[in-house]
Amino acid sequence: MTIYREKLNPSVWLYVIALLVIPASLLVFLPINVWVGVAVAVVLYAGCVVLLLLASPVLEVTDGEFIAGRARLPIAFVGVIEGFRASEATLERGQRLDARAWLVIRGWIDPVLKVEVTDPKDPVPYWLVSTRRPDELKSALEKAKAGA
């Protein structure tokens, strides 16, 4: 049963930045043919939008595991859970980051959640995940741990 689910979709400004594909493709294709230039521009922008959406990872907490992107962590191995915002989140993503950590971070999402991995066989000390709702994700993980 799913307790929590969040898709880390890109923010609006990334779609606006992707609009730069349109003038770039028009610059290349307009000298050949106006209609070809417009068609290529629209197709390239649509492709960029589709790729942005497909590349968005999902965070999910079920009663048995925590899923972040392609990785799965059994709830039994979830340890201490800490949330960080603003400058603390920046430090966790930078200076305090352990190179062995599993990362599902997105630059357009400020808060991060640090989830300790207690599996002695796993070389990953913790997961660091971006989330727009760190308090809800933390409570969902704690609820799943309590039910396990």
Q: What's the pLDDT score for residue 146?
A: 87
Question: Where are the domains positioned within the chain?
Answer: 9-54, 58-147
Query: Tens digits of per-residue pLDDT, 29-82?
Result: 999 999 999 999 999 999 999 999 999 999 999 999 999 999 999 999 999 999
Residue 148 banded pLDDT, cuts 50, 70, 90? low
C-alpha to C-alpha distance for 144 and 21, rounded to whole angstroms: 44
Q: What's the pLDDT score for residue 1?
A: 87
> Per-residue b/e over 31-40, b at no fewer than 16 CB within 10 Å?
eeeeeebeeb
Query: Residue 83 carries which side chain, given as an amino acid letter?
Result: G
Average pLDDT, integer, range 98-118: 94
> 0.75 cut: is pTM over it?
yes
Architecture of domain 58-147: Roll (2.30)
Helices (H), the chain: 12-18, 21-29, 34-54, 86-93, 134-147
